Amino acid sequence: MPERYAEADPIRRVPTNVPTYCVHSAKDERVPFGQSVRYIRAARQAGDDISLIAARGNHTDCITVGHIDFELVVHGLEELASMAHGTRVGTHRRAPIHLRDRPASWRCRAVC
């Protein structure tokens, strides 16, 4: 049912007009990294404020508590929340966050 896949395609939803972080790893064994790159390109061209957070683990590491990729997600959520309240935690807008540049203050604080 190709129409269902087309309907679920996030590229068809841009612009979202919502600041967005995409967390993805080039080592993801299930979803090609290029898929996120294409989405981000389309979203930026449509005027969205979107960034790619470059993870390093496999597909599920970003939801594995304690993994460095999970910390990237937590930081992204904290930064988006701070933007909603008129303050910014960091300056990672429109640029990838690489693990080597990760602030020492990034820690897992909550699990939802």
| pLDDT tens digits for range 26-59 | 999 999 999 999 999 999 999 999 999 889 999 9
Enter the pTM of the model. 0.68
Q: What is the pLDDT of residue 92?
A: 43
pLDDT at 89 > cutoff 70: no
| Cβ-based neighbours of 55, under 8 Å, separated by 6 or more | 23, 24, 25, 61, 62, 69, 72
Q: What is the pLDDT of residue 95?
A: 44
Q: Which residue matches tokens 């460095």? A: 68
pLDDT at 10 > cutoff 80: yes
